Structure formats: structure tokens, C-alpha cells
Structure 1
Amino acid sequence: MGSHRRPAQSGLDRSARGSTVYILSALTATTAAGLAAAPAGAAPQDRPSGTRAEVDRLFEQAEKATEAFNQAGEHADKLRDDLADLQDSVARGQERINTMRGALGSLAGAQYRSGGIDPSLALLLSSDPDNYLDKASVLDRLTTRQAGELTALQRAQRDLSQERAEAARKLVDLERTRKAVARHKRTVEDKLARARRLLDALPPGQRAAYDRASRGGGRDGIPDLSGVGEASSGRAAAAVAAAMSALGKPYVWGANGPSGFDCSGLMQWSYARAGVGLPRTSQEQRYAGRRIPLSEARPGDLVAYRSDASHIGMYVGNGQVIHAPYPGAPVRYDPVGMMPVSSVTRV
């Protein structure tokens, strides 16, 4: 993708969503800790391995809901822009119709003053036939112009009616999208709260193991990427530098910087600093450039995870990615093989 693309704008209003998402991040901050031995006789789902699997499942579901939340928010932003443009167009159309009606009124007055009566009768009554013929010529031109103006007015009224109907449809769609945003938000909150409760119930000595387990990279099929390599382009290098500047910033779901990020928000923000606009969601970002094999990855390439691309990071060399992992875990480096890789994209 070329660098001619405009930097993407932020999705949902950051100030409106900021307080909620930062509170959620604080509530889930304990997830950076790990696991210890479960008490004897604990049920399978209460043992460390069962807790790890359940927390991973909840985080994965929350991340999917977060990307759906981001997508719905982006759609809502577009609808708001479209609706504003339509409303402006409707206002301009109404103004034009008012002007055209005024012009038609003036033409009608001119027609009356030019002798708008039966032409044969007017000729018989005229004491000056030459003057009458001059007036008739003007009247004919006025009538032709009036007919044209009337046709234009009718067309403008039809266009205005269509734009008003389209604006009404956009308004309904916007309301539906707002409800979808709220629904995804509730889903994310529920999953994160459940994961937090599971982790909070573990003995203190066990929590660090969860974080260590989440950073594992020993998966089959991961090529040797120990060489640092160079970025594929100047904009990719600039995006890597931007992502590195965000190291340590908190994971905040639904956020795309600068003080907090979710996974796709970090990618969008980093490339925006390089002058390149990326879509908002990880599912869309995987198509934002040319697909390449993982073995050819270079710094700045986007690495999408899981079959549905519900998580995404940026390759930075030496077999590492930089990404926003999950609530409680700040932006950090992790092995590229930390999760199943679904695609690598060069922007």
C-alpha cells in the first residue's frame, strides 16, 4: 500500500470512551501476574492449568468482541459523516428550491404583464399590431423558459425527497450501530470481569506464571528469524519507531493511543505516525498490504494471529513482535510464535 494514504482518524470519540476503558484496564491490571499450585482436591477448572485455559479463552473472546466493537464504532463514525453530508445537501437543496420558486413567481408576473390572454383576442383588440407581435414574442420566450424552470424545479424536488429518505435511512442505521457498539461493549466488559475474578482467586505466588506462559514462542513451524533485518521501507521503519515509543503503555480496549492501545489500535497509531492510514480492526489490517510468508518477515510487517485474525502485532526483527497483549499487560515485545500465526502483511 502506498504512503499516499491519509493517516487514519481515531474511531469512537476518545474522551467519551476513555473513562470506561481505563477503568476496565485498571480493574484487570492483576492479570499480569501468574499461577501457583492449586489446593488438593480442586475441581479441574479451578486448577492452574484449567484456570490458564479459561482465562486465555475469556481473553480471546474479549479480544474478538473488542475488534467487533472497533468495527461498529468505525461504521458509526462513517454514518455520522455521511448523515452530516446528507443534511448539508438537503439544506442546500431546499435553498435552491426556494430560489427556483421565486424565479418562477417572477416569470409568472412577467407573463401576466406581457398580456397573458388568448392570442387571437389580443390581436383583435390591439390598436398597434406590431407592438402586439413584439409582446407575443416575449411571451412565447417567457412561457418556454417557465416550462424549463418548472421541469428543473420538479427534478430538484425529487432529488431532495430522495436525499431526505436516504438521510432517514442513515439515521436508522446509525441507531442500530449504536446499539451494536453497546452490545459489544457489554460483552467485552463481561469477559474481562470474569477473567479478572479467576485470576484474583489464585494464590499470589502463582500469578507470574500466567504472564510467563502467555509469552511462550515455542510453536512448531516457526522459521528461524534470529537475524534483525532491515525494514522494508522508510515508512515501515518509521512505524516500528513509533510502536517502540509506545512500549510500556497500558492495554486499553477500544483505544488507539496515544496513552493506551488495544492490539489493532497500536498498529493503526504507529503507521499513522509514518503517514500511512490503516483500517481500524485487525481483520481489516491483515488485508492492508501484500501478503508474505513468515520466513520473509521484516521489521514493520504486520503479523495477524489466530484463524480469524482477532489479534495483531508488528514484527520488529530477531523473531520478536511488539504488540498490546491484553488488559493488565502493557505494550511489549514477545516471540513471533506466541500464538498461531495466520498471516503476515507488508504495508
Structure 2
Amino acid sequence: MVSHRRPTRPGSGRTVRATVLSAAAATAAATLGAAPADAGPQDTRASAEAEVDRLYGEAEQATERYNAARENAGRLRGQVDRAQDRVARAQEGANRMRAALGSMAGAQYRSGGIDPSVQLLLSSDPDSYLERAAFLDREGERRAALLGRLRRAAQAIARTRAEAGHALAGLERERTAVARHKRAVEDKLARARRLLESLPAEDREARGRASRGDGTADPAGPGAGSPRAMAALSAAQRALGRPYVWGANGPAAFDCSGLTQWAYAQAGVSLPRTSQAQRYAGRVVPLSEARPGDLVAYRADASHIAVYAGNGQVIHAPHPGAPVRYDPVGMMPVSSVTRV
């Protein structure tokens, strides 16, 4: 077949950079799926960056599900441990009661197996009859009470074992969920990484710059937060520059909710592990009334969270490859502002 395409003329003005961008565009288009035939390198680059942002958002959602499952697994592990401790203590008590009953049975056997009441009637000392009869009644009551306690202890042991079994089953489900969410995070981050690698080096460097904000937040200015909020903000500021690692909650690395949890822990406040739970850890206020130290949750599902720093900025752990940094509070849709 004869080709009717015109050969490329030397000096057509296409630079090496255009060739690199076209290669990156082809790689990005393969990752994103079919692209419009007339899409230029700039359009494809923008689409690739939008896809990276989407993948990071989905990875963050999976990270928070991972954090929640891991937190719940820890809670269930505690339930299992406590139930097993209760079973061990109850079993020890039941063993003591069985030993006491065994001693009573042994004493009766050594007496020839004759019922104690018959032995009393045959006694040659009738003057002590009433006293010994009263003692015998007390022994019978003691034995009956001991049997009742042993029966209740056995029932309690059975219930506690069932509780431990239920908690263990839940723990196994949560462990499975942890592994599933971990795979989802790693898959989305790997896809985002491959897509980023398809972009020109200067574009990757632009995305990886330390901050989009100007870093001039002044938390000591008007509208300062409460002492504990300011202490949490101070802790978040000390974390600036530390790396994002999904599932990490400091002090060397953080994900978004790990940073806010750690920062408030430095102020003596215990926050839940996930961003979704943290948004309900205090009083919700309008964004227009945000004060330094408030928690700012993003997206409708609150899958990202940050600490408000004042002057329209937040401190947060953004995503892999971007360290803890300042960014504008409006960097993505705000879903709530919480005053802890």
C-alpha cells in the first residue's frame, strides 16, 4: 500500500519538548482511556493531572476506611482479651467451688456413705442432738448455695465464651476489611504514580512543590482559638515538612487524620482516628467563623481533614509525595468546620 501522507519537513518548528509532551500525552491517554482525536498535549496533561487528583481522592477515602477498620479491629481485640480474662477468672472460681464440693463428698464417703442425718439419729450423745442438727442444716444450706453459685458461674462462663467468640468473628472480619482497604489504597496510589511518571519532569516538580499557600498564617492574630486549639495548631506547625504516609499518625509521618489526631493529642485531647469521626468531635461552626485550631473537613464524605491556621489557610497532610504543608482553606470543597 502506498502512503499518501506528506513527509515531515525539516525545520517544521517541532521542538524536542513537543516530542516529549506528545509521548507523555500518549502514555496518559493510554492510562485514561480513549482521548479525543484532536486533544493536544496541554489538554491531555490537564486530563492526566485531573485523573491523578481523582485517584488521590479515592486513595484517601480507602485510607480512611482502612484506618476505621484497623481502629475497630483494635477495639475488638480488646473485647476478646477482656472476655478471655473474665472466662479465666470465672473458671478459677468454679474450680474452687468444685474442689469444695469434692471435699464435702469425700467427707461423706469416709463416713461410710451414711446420710449425715441418719448418723445424727444414731448418735449416743442425745444432749448434743439439737446443736449438731443445726450444724447439719447449715452444712446442707452451704452445699445448696455452693451448687447454686457453681451453676450460675457455669452459665456466666458460657455467656462470656460466646461473647468472646462473637468478638473473635468480628475481629476476623475487620482484619479482612483492613487487608481489602490496604489493597485498594496501594492500587490507586500505584496508578497515580504511573500516571505522574508519564508527565514531563517540570510538571511533576510543580505538583511536588512544598506548598500552594504562602505560609504566612498568623494564628496569634484576631479570632485566635482556645488554648487547646492553639496548642494543637502549634503541634501541626511543628510537623510541617514531614512526609505523608497513608495509615501513619506520627510523629515521623502522617496521613490527613493521623496529623489532626496527633496534633490534638499534643494538646491533651483524644480525637477519633478517622476524618469522618473527627468532624463530629466538637461543635460545627460556619466556615466564615473558623478560628485557628478548628478542624476543616473536605468533600461530602469528609474523607480529608486539616487544621485551620488563620488567614484563610490550613495545615494538612495532602497526599503521597507532598509533605505536611500550608494550603488555602478553599483548596477543595469544605464539608464542615468543627471546633473541638
TM-score, with normalisation over the residues of structure 2? 0.82
RMSD: 2.7
Q: CA deviation at 1:231?
A: 3.1
Q: Residues 219 and 292 of structure 2 are in contact (CA less than 8 Å); yes or no, is this contact kept in structure 1?
A: no
Q: Counterpart of 2:175? A: 178
Provide the C-alpha distance between the structure 1 equivalents of 2:324 and 2:222, rounded to a whole number of angstroms.
22
- Call closer, same or farther: CA 1:37–1:296 in 2, change over 3 Å: farther
Q: Counterpart of 1:89? A: 86
Provide the C-alpha distance between the structure 2 equivalents of 1:81 and 1:121, rounded to a whole number of angstroms.
54
Q: CA deviation at 1:163?
A: 0.8
Provide the C-alpha distance between the structure 2 equivalents of 1:138 and 1:63, rounded to a whole number of angstroms.
74
Provide the C-alpha distance between the structure 2 equivalents of 1:119 and 1:323, rounded to a whole number of angstroms.
82
Say if 2:146 is the partner of 1:146: no
Q: How many aligned residue pairs are there?
A: 303
Say if 2:72 is the partner of 1:75: yes
Unaligned runs of 5+ in 1: 1-35, 218-224
Q: Counterpart of 1:323? A: 316
CA offsets 1:199-223 (integer angstroms, 9 cap, x no match): 10111122244457x9489xxxxxx
Larger radius of gyration: 2
Q: CA deviation at 1:104?
A: 2.0
Provide the C-alpha distance between the structure 1 equivalents of 2:114 and 2:45, rounded to a whole number of angstroms.
96
Q: CA deviation at 1:55?
A: 0.5
Q: Residues 61 and 303 of structure 2 are in contact (CA less than 8 Å); yes or no, is this contact kept in structure 1?
A: yes
Q: Counterpart of 1:196? A: 193
Q: Residues 116 and 136 of structure 2 are in contact (CA less than 8 Å); yes or no, is this contact kept in structure 1?
A: no
Q: Residues 252 and 261 of structure 1 are in contact (CA less than 8 Å); yes or no, is this contact kept in structure 2?
A: yes
Structure 2 counterpart SS, 1:277: coil
Q: Residues 120 and 132 of structure 2 are in contact (CA less than 8 Å); yes or no, is this contact kept in structure 1?
A: no
> Sequence identity of aligned pairs in percent?
63
Q: Residues 226 and 319 of structure 1 are in contact (CA less than 8 Å); yes or no, is this contact kept in structure 2?
A: no
Q: Counterpart of 2:128? A: 131
Q: Counterpart of 2:115? A: 117
Q: Residues 302 and 345 of structure 1 are in contact (CA less than 8 Å); yes or no, is this contact kept in structure 2?
A: yes
Structure 1 counterpart SS, 2:320: coil
Provide the C-alpha distance between the structure 1 equivalents of 2:258 and 2:173, rounded to a whole number of angstroms.
24
1:268 to 261, 266, 284: 261
Deviates more, 1:125-134 or 1:238-247: 125-134
Q: Counterpart of 2:32? A: none
Unaligned runs of 5+ in 2: 1-18, 30-34
Structure 1 counterpart SS, 2:291: coil
Q: Counterpart of 1:166? A: 163
TM-score, with normalisation over the residues of structure 1? 0.81
- Call closer, same or farther: CA 1:199–1:301 in 2, change over 3 Å: same
Provide the C-alpha distance between the structure 2 equivalents of 1:115 and 1:180, rounded to a whole number of angstroms.
61
Q: CA deviation at 1:110?
A: 5.2
Q: CA deviation at 1:86?
A: 1.2
Q: Counterpart of 1:281? A: 274
CA offsets 1:225-251 (integer angstroms, 9 cap, x no match): 999434321111110110000000000
Greater RCO, 1 or 2 (C-alpha within 8 Å, sep 6+): 1
Provide the C-alpha distance between the structure 2 equivalents of 1:227 and 1:133, rounded to a whole number of angstroms.
87
Q: Residues 37 and 206 of structure 1 are in contact (CA less than 8 Å); yes or no, is this contact kept in structure 2?
A: no
